[in-house]
């Protein structure tokens, strides 16, 4: 995509990022981005955004249960953890926009910069965890059958 904003980052430190994290932990309000599937007057926001139209969006309550700097996986795209690149480990409620979280974190008074997301890996959705997934290389009829989960057992696994 096109660069929409630039800001200095040479003043940003890992300590500054750490100092900003508590402001985004717990029950917070978050304004959805224009590039989202939410509707405004019958049209999806991303459709309006593609037309160059920006509309007012109400903030929504979301919960960030855990938020920490993390270097796992950062090397795949950005190289080892080191500014200006950083990784986050986030446990959050449904409806949380991670792109917005990253942007808001960078704008926090402790950081005073801008940021964007390079990579996202969802490691858990409800009772399903990434580690329980069947790798594509192992997809065959028998393996798939062995990994099927009885839908009646799913509610018991939800915590």
Return per-residue pLDDT of the chain as tens, 159 residues: 788 899 988 898 889 999 999 999 999 999 999 999 999 999 999 999 999 999 999 999 999 999 999 865 444 444 455 778 888 999 999 999 999 999 999 999 999 999 999 889 899 888 888 888 899 999 999 999 988 887 777 765 554
What are the angstrom distances between the C-alpha of 98 and each of 54, 101, 137?
A: 20, 5, 29
CATH of domain 14-121: 3.30.2350.10
The rounded distance, in Å, linking the Cα atoms of 129 and 59 is 29
pLDDT at 16: 92
pLDDT at 79: 47
Task: Enumerate the domain spans of the chain.
Answer: 14-121, 126-159
Which secondary-structure segment (H or E) carries 103?
helix 98-107
Sign of CA dihedral 46, 94, 125, 39: negative
The rounded distance, in Å, linking the Cα atoms of 1 and 36 is 15
């Amino acid at each position: 995509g096109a660069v929409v904003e630039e800001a200095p980052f040479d003043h940003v430190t890992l300590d500054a990022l750490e100092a900003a994290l508590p402001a985004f932990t717990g029950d917070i309000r978050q304004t959805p981005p224009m590039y989202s599937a939410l509707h405004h007057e019958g049209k999806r926001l991303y459709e309006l955004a593609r037309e160059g139209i920006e509309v007012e969006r109400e903030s929504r309550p979301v919960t960030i249960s855990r938020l920490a700097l993390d270097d796992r996986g950062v090397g795949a795209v950005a190289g080892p953890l080191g500014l200006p690149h950083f990784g986050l480990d986030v446990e959050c409620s449904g409806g949380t926009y991670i792109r917005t979280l990253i942007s808001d974190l960078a704008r926090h008074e402790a950081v005073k910069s801008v940021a964007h997301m390079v990579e996202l890996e969802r490691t858990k959705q409800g009772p399903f965890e990434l580690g329980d997934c069947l790798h594509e290389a192992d997809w065959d009829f028998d393996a798939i059958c062995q990994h099927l989960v009885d839908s009646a057992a799913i509610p018991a696994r939800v915590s």
